[in-house]
Amino acid sequence: MKQTKTSKSLITSSIEKSLKKRHAKEFRFKLMGRMAIGFGFLMLVILIFDIASKAMPAFYQHHLKIDVEYNKEWLEIALDEQGNFAEEALNRANYRSMIRNSLYQMFPEVKGRKDKKSLLQLLSSNVEFDLRDQLLKNPALIGTKHSIWLLADGDVDSYLKSNATIGEKNGRINAKQALWVQSLSENEKIKASANYLFFTNSDSRDPELAGIKGALVGTLLTMLVTLAISFPIGLATAIYLEEFAPKNRWTDIIEININNLAAVPSIVFGLLGLAVIINLFGLPRSASLVGGIVLSLMTLPTIIIASRASIKAVPISIKEAATGLGASKMQVTLGHVVPIAMPGILTGTIIGIAQALGETAPLLMIGMVAFIVDVPSGFTDAATVMPVQIFLWADSPEQGFLAKTSAAIFVLLVVLFMITFSATLLRKKFENKVNK
């Protein structure tokens, strides 16, 4: 009896030790999981903070207050027969001469040809068109003198945004330009304001004028084509393979190829688009339509695989109950299986679209790397997309494009978040409908 109690106590002690080890292992596993999640979240926060901090200079820009004299001799225009300034004459006026002479009056000490050229380089090359637009709206300005805020050149803007002491030269501007900027700053003729041009302009060779409007519109058009092609075809393929296709050698070959296509490098799809869509079918290069078709080919395997897994996860009891009530195979699939599987299908679609949104290599192969200034108005117009725009700006030597690159990345992340958030709301709607 005593031996029995002793053996029971030993067994109990052994079980307790084993439970302690198991609980300790479980605790360590949970702790490692939490640490991994925390580390991943920390890296994400650091990444977003780094991108946002580098992008901040792109969201504001500097203007210089210039005393502009609308001198008709400088503008080289004359009155028409009715005694007015014709619109055609105002369009062809010499605004560069007017700006140059106005600057010379502000800085009379500037004499040499080289110094005069450096002085003119304080302003953006686009200010001529701004003054032209003002004069076209109000020709009565001719013969008057006004102080106007004009956009600073990209190098001057970068200099003012840097940590350099105003008045000291750096790699972007020379010593005399630094002194002129210092003079303007001391006279409160420099101000920083929100950079609306970043959202309203398309690409430009000048960093102070470059914007993302063309690339953003091109991205949205390309994603619309991608979604319009890949989602219905991917869903129909998944439904057929999972619910209607016979299980034989041919369907096995199709499934293997779909799984293999998901691992094919994206640039291969770009080569396919170049060889077939452009060269064979003659569709225009650098168009959102071609880019959407190429990205839809790349996205299809992801959507098909995710959709098949979601359809397969639908309980067999749902199908049997619907069949028992007299529903046909098509009614069971479209009326019961697909709605229940829709949250998983949308998850796969989100993953595929997010992958397509950040792709660059396949689009480079079909010519979407071209320098596009105009905003595309249709699916066949020449266009570029945000990842390609980021690629082009990152390769530019001008200092001003560094902040523009980070800002474009930040905007792309915001667009991705908005797409993901919208799709998540739609997925929740389907989930709530299924639960009811």
Say yes or no to pLDDT of 31 above 80.
yes
Phi, psi dihedral angles at 362 (to 5 degrees): -65, -30
Distance CA 404, CA 411 (A): 10
Residue 289 has pLDDT above 60, yes or no: yes
Count of beta carbons in the 10 Å neighbourhood of residue 108:
7
pLDDT, one tens digit per residue, over 165-202 is 776 777 678 888 888 888 888 888 999 999 999 998 88
Across the chain, mean pLDDT equals 85
pTM, two decimals, is 0.84
Q: What is the mean pLDDT of residues 280-295?
A: 87
For the chain, which residues make up each domain, given as ranges? 60-194, 213-435
Selected residue with higher pLDDT from 246 and 16: 246
Alpha-carbon gap, residue 196 to 374, rounded angstroms = 17
Q: What is the pLDDT of residue 32?
A: 93
Measured CA to CA, the distance from residue 332 to residue 322 in angstroms comes to 6
Say which residues have a Cβ less than 8 Å from residue 70's Cβ, sequence separation at least 6.
Answer: 98, 135, 141, 142, 143, 144, 145, 146
* Burial of residue 165, with CB atoms counted within 10 A of its CB: 0-12 exposed, 13-18 middle, 19 or more buried: exposed
Assign domain 213-435 to a CATH class. Answer: mainly alpha
- Residue 169 CA to residue 174 CA, distance in Å, equals 5
Helices (H), 138-248: 154-161, 175-186, 197-200, 213-239
* Contact present, 230 and 403 (Cβ < 8 Å): no
The whole-number average pLDDT for the span 128-155 is: 86
pLDDT score at 42:
94
**Beta carbons of 404 and 232 less than 8 angstroms apart:** no
Residue 436: what pLDDT? 62
**pLDDT bracket for residue 83 (50, 70, 90):** low
